[in-house]
């Protein structure tokens, strides 16, 4: 049995999308699990009632299992990260995370302000020993199996030791969340030889050789869309948060460009949508914030109900696999 | 009148592809220009004769304008960069570049070992004052106009001052080679606000504000395939060589992945090829090595005759626009 707190006030389409996502999740979750909707209860109640008007009897019955938890403040998308920690102590974010810190919840899921969620998660859940900041792992669709890329934006200036920590975090992520038995960890660089890369990457390469992971050496930009390098499949790609953020946004931007070119050339849009469906981020749900003592799932601000539902399922998987516990073990290794 | 030296021994498909590329170039170049084929003359002669067997009388006549320059050593793709400088003084690379240093040629074009070409170009042509290393600018196709990304791999650990130099080099490139009147220069970062980025990027942002360029602020990964950001079109994207190399290889790798997905979904391959033709790097020819006193054009190792021809045309454009002279002026500004 897991208790998952969902931030109903977070995201570009809140509160409608999170509420709709919760209803979708209920239909897939075993009834033993509890879904906690955190936000302004009056607002949440109203949205819920509206969405239930046309719902099936089964969904209405399931909705009775939802637990509403009142939080009268809201962290806006434009608020500074510190606001979530100090400025708005009764925000849905702070309340949802405190619930977990106090042992009344097992996971927190939000499509709200990412910087604020990171700050609040770090402050309220705290970090495993040895970490100075949490990392974001993002799952990217590839020609073969999805690949975890981290860090995806939280840590911009990274020393070699931090890159090695990302490798450890990614290893646990790929094993616990994606179910890879012995994740192949690659270090992003500009050539496969150990002496290629910037100073931090070259040093990290040496440290990773003895880190007890399935380190497959350097991988290059082209190996990410392929999902594999010359030495075989890749499960985890390690990079600093600056490079990670740039490449994720680039990756997101290429599909629409090609979509436009192909549509202009007369390829039917339906055929394009179907073929490129594998690239839809909504399928991959949220990204666990890695390194906090607990579970905090970051969803895309633009999350649809489907994406929110998948974020909740990722949260459940993180709880059931004991991901945070394994991260503590891996960092102490 | 320009004299362009082509390395006939460089590239995965040498000497056939460079020779074929030279014949293509001849058909487009004004007869006042001279094409110098640098390599083992006996080999070049034999390949040329073979390719001319089925050529039209016009091409055969044009071929008589080719100047063969003998160079009996070859820099292999696997040679270390230093080989081109010290180990093989009579390589086609060293001979072609010395020709320019001695005033007997105006541009050098090669699809050979890139590291060796950079080292030899730096050593033989020398750098404009103020630079410690040359940079590579790569033209990327986008949904709108092509964009110059630099540095694309030569300089991995960059201080802010180097990023500012790249901005100056990119400005001249976009104006002289791509014909943009007042190139919009963006700094690649992880958010559009000036305070977003790693330490070098944040400092470079401040320095670029007063650099006398059309600096449009930070751009993000997604702005590259779009060819524009919220503030309008982008002509130049400035980044360190590590990020640049990763993103170029990623960009190259995404199209084949999508091609595979779409072909598997039944989109006819011919339609795909036609629609995605804009992404063919061969169209954009070579990349000028920026910062050397002279013209050294780096072509992709896999260059087809078409790509080599375009490399020659880029070389001509660099000579005619006086790109190197303008770079000297810009760096002294």
pLDDT tens, A40-92? 999 999 999 999 998 999 999 999 999 999 999 999 999 998 888 889 999 99
pTM: 0.89
Q: What local confidence, expressed as pLDDT, does residue B282 receive?
A: 62
Sort out which chain A residues have CB atoms less than 8 A from B140's CB and list them.
Answer: none
Q: pLDDT grade, residue B259 (50/70/90)? A: confident
B254 touches chain A (CB under 8 A): yes
Tens digit of each residue's pLDDT (9 = 90 or more) over A129-161: 989 889 999 899 888 889 999 998 778 899 999
Q: pLDDT grade, residue A8 (50/70/90)? A: very high
d(CA B116, CA B83): 7
Q: pLDDT grade, residue B40 (50/70/90)? A: very high
Q: With 0-12 CB in 10 A as exposed, 13-18 as middle and 19+ as buried, what is B210?
A: exposed
Q: pLDDT grade, residue A283 (50/70/90)? A: low
Tens digit of each residue's pLDDT (9 = 90 or more) over B268-318: 888 877 777 766 666 667 889 999 999 999 998 989 999 999 999 999 999
Q: What local confidence, expressed as pLDDT, does residue A329 receive?
A: 96
A53 touches chain B (CB under 8 A): no
Q: What local confidence, expressed as pLDDT, does residue A130 receive?
A: 87
Smallest Cβ–Cβ distance between B250 and the set A197, A242, A247 belongs to A247
CA dihedral A155→A161→A165→A170, nearest 10 degrees, is: 80
Quote the mean pLDDT of chain B: 93
* Interface size between A and B, measured as CB pairs under 8 A: 161
Q: What local confidence, expressed as pLDDT, does residue A281 receive?
A: 64
Higher confidence at residue A202 or residue A255? A202
Query: Which residue from A175, A184, A173, A190 is spatially nearest to A144, judged by alpha carbons?
Result: A184
Q: What local confidence, expressed as pLDDT, does residue B84 receive?
A: 80
- Are A243 and B248 inside 8 Å of each other by CB? no
Smallest Cβ–Cβ distance between A198 and the set B199, B242, B267 belongs to B242
Nearest CA of chain A to the CA of B143: how many Å? 6
Q: pLDDT grade, residue A296 (50/70/90)? A: very high
Q: pLDDT grade, residue B18 (50/70/90)? A: very high
Higher confidence at residue A282 or residue A100? A100
Nearest CA of chain B to the CA of A233: how many Å? 15
A153 touches chain B (CB under 8 A): yes
- List the single best residue of A113, A133, A201, A261 to mutate versus B (max B Cβ within 10 A): A261
Sequence-ordered alpha helix ranges (H) in chain A = 16-28, 41-52, 57-63, 81-82, 92-101, 114-125, 160-176, 199-209, 223-226, 241-264, 269-275, 305-320, 323-331
Sort out which chain A residues have CB atoms less than 8 A from B220's CB and list them.
Answer: 245-246, 249
Sort out which chain B residues have CB atoms less than 8 A from A142's CB and list them.
Answer: 257
Q: What local confidence, expressed as pLDDT, does residue B283 receive?
A: 67
Nearest CA of chain A to the CA of B274: how many Å? 8
- A3-134+291-325 CATH fold: Isopropylmalate Dehydrogenase (3.40.718)
Q: What local confidence, expressed as pLDDT, does residue B53 receive?
A: 94
Q: Which CATH architecture has domain B3-131+291-322?
A: 3-Layer(aba) Sandwich (3.40)
Q: What local confidence, expressed as pLDDT, does residue B45 receive?
A: 96
- B136-277 CATH fold: Isopropylmalate Dehydrogenase (3.40.718)
Range(s) of chain A covered by CATH 3.40.718.10: 3-134+291-325, 136-277
d(CA A308, CA A111): 8
> In this prediction, does ipTM exceed 0.90?
no
- Are A278 and B271 inside 8 Å of each other by CB? no
Range(s) of chain B covered by CATH 3.40.718.10: 3-131+291-322, 136-277
């Amino acid at each position: 049995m897991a208790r998952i707190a969902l931030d109903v006030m977070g995201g570009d389409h809140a509160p409608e999308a999170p509420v709709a996502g919760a209803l979708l999740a209920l239909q897939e979750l075993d009834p033993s699990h509890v879904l906690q909707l955190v936000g302004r209860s009056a607002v949440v109640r109203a949205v819920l009632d509206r969405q239930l008007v046309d719902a099936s009897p089964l969904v209405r019955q399931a909705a009775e299992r939802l637990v509403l938890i009142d939080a009268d403040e809201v962290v806006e998308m434009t608020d500074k990260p510190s606001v979530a920690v100090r400025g708005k102590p009764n925000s849905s974010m702070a309340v949802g995370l405190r619930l977990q810190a106090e042992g009344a919840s097992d996971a927190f899921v939000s499509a709200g302000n990412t910087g604020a969620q990171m700050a609040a998660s770090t402050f309220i859940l705290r970090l495993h020993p040895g970490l100075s900041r949490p990392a974001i792992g993002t799952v990217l669709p590839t020609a073969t199996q999805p690949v975890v890329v981290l860090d995806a934006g939280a840590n911009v200036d990274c020393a070699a030791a931090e890159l090695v920590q990302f490798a450890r975090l990614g290893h646990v992520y790929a094993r616990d969340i994606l179910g890879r038995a012995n994740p192949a960890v690659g270090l992003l660089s500009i050539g496969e030889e150990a002496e290629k890369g910037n100073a931090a990457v070259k040093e990290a390469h040496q440290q990773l050789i003895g880190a007890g992971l399935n380190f497959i050496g350097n991988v290059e930009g082209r190996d990410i869309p392929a999902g594999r390098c010359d030495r075989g499949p890749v499960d985890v790609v390690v990079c600093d948060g600056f490079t990670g953020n740039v490449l994720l946004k680039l990756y997101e931007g290429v599909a629409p460009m090609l979509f436009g070119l192909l549509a202009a050339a007369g390829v039917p849009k339906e055929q394009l949508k179907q073929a490129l469906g594998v690239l839809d981020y909504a399928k991959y749900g949220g990204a666990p914030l890695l390194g906090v003592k607990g579970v905090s799932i970051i969803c895309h601000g633009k999350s649809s109900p489907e994406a929110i539902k998948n974020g909740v399922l990722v949260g459940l998987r993180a709880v059931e696999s004991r991901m945070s516990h394994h991260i503590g073990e891996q960092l102490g290794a």
